[in-house]
Amino acid sequence: MTAYDDTNIFAQILRGEIPCFKVYEDDDTLCFMDIMPRTDGHCLVIPKTPCRNVLDASDAQLAAVMSTVRKVANAAKAAFDADGITLQQFNETAGGQEVFHLHFHIHPRHEGVSMRPPGKMGDTDVIKGYAERISAAL
């Protein structure tokens, strides 16, 4: 398997080299908003320690990340009065992964509302507001 490369954008966020809209953090994990949101409230949960994806993650990394995913997913569901939550997680390029630091996407979902296509930048003020909304529900 390819080695972890600490020049990836999420490693830069963890080092504070580039900003993010933080939702939640604890000793082991960080949750922040996706800047190209496919749903209102689309956010990402990552471990603070390095691994590319699920394939090389340790049990401890996965346990910590999933605990935060559950916590934030419940908060996002409440914050957006959502009917459900979609989790997405991609592994390696062929699996759809673009940033090679383990992350889970959390999407609040409403009945009959499709996810938007990927790759479109969101409005930063709106994203900031959504981060605050989820944080307040935590």
Which residues are known catalytic residues? 103
Residues of span 4-63 touching ligand AMP by CB under 6 A: 9, 20, 34-36
DSSP characters for 7-44? TSHHHHHHTTSS---EEEE-SSEEEEE-SS-SSTT-EE
Which range touches ligand AMP (CB under 6 A), out of 55-63, 71-79, 91-99, 107-115?
A: 91-99
CB 117, min distance to ligand AMP, A: 11
Among residues 18 and 136, whose Cβ is nearest to ligand AMP? 18
| Residue 43 or 79 with smaller CB distance to ligand AMP | 43
Shortest separation between residue 56's beta carbon and ligand AMP, angstroms: 15
Going by C-alpha positions, the residue among 138, 128, 136, 112 that lies closest to residue 37 is 128
Please state the separation of Cα 99 from the chain's center in Å: 11
Q: Which of 98, 110, 126, 128 binds ligand AMP (CB under 6 A)?
A: 98
Of 78 and 115, CB closest to ligand AMP: 115
Which helix (H) or strand (E) element contains residue 62? helix 59-79
3-state secondary structure of 108: strand
> Which residue reads 């401890």 in tokens?
60
Q: Which residues bind ligand AMP (CB under 6 A)?
A: 9, 20, 34-36, 90, 96-99, 103
